[in-house]
Amino acid sequence: MDYDFVVIGAGPVGGLLARRLCEGGSTVLIVEEHAQIGRPFQCAGLVNPKAMELVGLTDTVLTPIWGARIHSPSGEEVSIGSPDLIRTWSVCRKMFDEAVIDSALDAGADLWLSSTPFAAEQDEAGVNVTITTPTGDVSVRCLMLCGADGAHSWVRRNFRMGRPKEMMVGFQIEVTGYVGEEGRLDMYTGSEISPGFFAWAIPSGDTTRIGTWSKADMMEGRSPEQLLDTLRKSPLWSRRFTGCREVGRFCGPVPSGLVSRPVKGRVVLFGDAAGLCKPTTGGGIGPGFIHVENTAPILLNRVQNLLSQSDMESMMKKVLEPVRKDQLRAKALRDAFLTQMNDEELDEVFSVWSKPEVTELINEVGEIENPIPLGLRMLRDVPEFRSLARRAVKAVLWG
Ligand SMILES: Cc1cc2nc3c(=O)[nH]c(=O)nc-3n(C[C@H](O)[C@H](O)[C@H](O)COP(=O)(O)OP(=O)(O)OC[C@H]3O[C@@H](n4cnc5c(N)ncnc54)[C@H](O)[C@@H]3O)c2cc1C
């Protein structure tokens, strides 16, 4: 074997995976199609505290985020959070990705930039991967192949491992001059600006990242850029945007809903390639990191022959089934509280959210990365939400 593992994709998830595999004593090659790490990126740059703890990269933080102002379609505002509890970190994604890859290289991984696989086949004992590199095509043999190659994963397509259940599209601009609040992000809702989902303005040091996400079939022929324009021109909020000067723009897919076969023989998918983004927030770094932490030990045992192929597959299944269920529940809650609501219904929800006792409940139980406990408490404890329970109950409780 040339390597124990070949990891396709030098994003944050591929980087952490390579690091953990090297730390476990394996040899690892990372293959990245771009000439540099962290460019281009499509991300609002939010990294939750658990994920940050795993990599210890607080020096990449631009702004600690402790709260949010959430806006209903008609302009009602609900403010949550308090400065004594940091809810999430707004980071420089380029520095963050570079630091994660650096730590993999420090642990012993090799990295080939400007390189892509164009053929791969597995047999009983390993995987042969043919890679186009700047100096010509190279064949590499490894024990296992890991696809951490993002939303449009070549590994996933080559080995026919299924598709993420939902593919949202996100569009974002980075601006100076937005009138926001230090440490608080803004979320905007409404069918004209983010049908079924929400738009955001996230403080990121000297700039603000303003974006929107939705599903193609809900956008009725409008582009995400048009939706964002509508937000910026809305009479409700335009004064916050009048002094904005654009310094960058990003567009990309958000794949959510674990693919049907994340493990196929000696090939395993990670991060966006596996469809791990949260259906509620679109965040992919947190769930991608947790998946790596939970599965790297299993892969290490497999390549050291401490586990048979079938034992490995059943252990991977044990890790992944709860992830699949959590995603289904979170999606059901999102659908009930947001995606399936029209603007009038959303306004009604906001009028309940703005009651002091409900805002208190959100502050107490609300977690950006895990909205299930809050959603269930609301369905149970807030009388006005009981009728919503019918919509959510089947998938939330039994999904
Ligand atoms: C607008 C927008 C905003 C977002 N905001 C957030 C956020 O605030 N927080 C959050 O956690 N998530 C956010 N996400 C999602 C987040 O960007 C991804 O979940 C995260 O980057 C996934 O990491 P990854 O390592 O799995 O994949 P990626 O970051 O996509 O990395 C994959 C890597 O593989 C490389 N690659 C792809 N194909 C090949 C190939 N064939 N050969 C070699 N290399 C290849 C790519 O160049 C890339 O470097 C957002 C997404 C969008 C679109």
Pocket of ligand 1 from Cβ distances under 6 Å: 8-14, 31-34, 42-46, 116-117, 148-150, 154, 170, 172, 211, 250, 252, 254, 271-272, 277, 282-286, 288
Per residue in 154-183, pLDDT (tens digit) is 999 999 999 999 999 999 999 999 999 999
Q: How far apart are CA 364 and CA 385, in angstroms?
A: 18
- Please list the residues that pair with 65 across neighbouring strands: 88
- What mean pLDDT do residues 69-78 have? 89
**DSSP 3-state of 33:** coil
Of 99-108, 245-254, 340-349, the one with minimum mean pLDDT is 340-349
> Residue whose CA is closest, atom 10 of ligand 1?
283
* Residue 391 pLDDT: 56
* Residue 390 pLDDT: 58
Same fold, 3-44+93-164+257-306 and 61-91+167-254: no
Which atom of ligand 1 is nearest to 15's Cα?
A: 25
Per residue in 278-322, pLDDT (tens digit) is 998 899 999 999 999 999 999 999 999 999 999 999 999 999 999
> What's the one-letter identity of residue 12?
P
Domain boundaries, the chain: 3-44+93-164+257-306, 61-91+167-254, 329-398
- What's the alpha-carbon Rg for the chain, to the nearest Å? 22
Do the beta carbons of residue 31 and residue 112 sit within 8 Å? yes
Q: How far apart are CA 143 and CA 303, in angstroms?
A: 7
Per residue in 212-262, pLDDT (tens digit) is 999 999 999 999 999 999 999 999 999 999 999 999 999 999 999 999 999
> Residue whose CA is closest, atom 31 of ligand 1?
11
Which contacts of 83-86 are long-range, i.e. CB under 8 A and separated by 24 or more positions?
83/183, 86/49
- Produce one character per residue of 10-27: b if its CB has 16 or more CB atoms within 10 Å, e if not: bbbbbbbbbbbbbebebb
Q: Which pLDDT band, with edges at 50, 70 and 90, does 122 fall under?
A: very high
* Residue 399 pLDDT: 38
Do the beta carbons of residue 95 and residue 108 sit within 8 Å? no
Q: Separation of 28 CA from ligand 1 center, angstroms?
A: 20
Q: How far apart are CA 322 and CA 329, in angstroms?
A: 10
* Residue 87 pLDDT: 87
Of 13-17, 70-74, 101-105, 347-351, the one with minimum mean pLDDT is 347-351
Per residue in 30-49, pLDDT (tens digit) is 999 999 999 887 888 999 99
Superfamily of structural domain 61-91+167-254:
D-Amino Acid Oxidase, subunit A, domain 2 (3.30.9.10)
Q: Which of 50, 138, 172, 285 to mutate to test the pocket of ligand 1 (most atoms within 8 A of CB)?
A: 285
Q: How far apart are CA 28 and CA 270, in angstroms?
A: 15
> Residue whose CA is closest, atom 13 of ligand 1?
283
Beta strand pairing call for 127-133 and 184-188: unpaired
* Residue 97 pLDDT: 97
Q: pTM of the predicted model, to two decimals?
A: 0.93
Mean pLDDT across the chain, nearest whole number? Answer: 91
Domain 3-44+93-164+257-306: which CATH class?
Answer: alpha beta
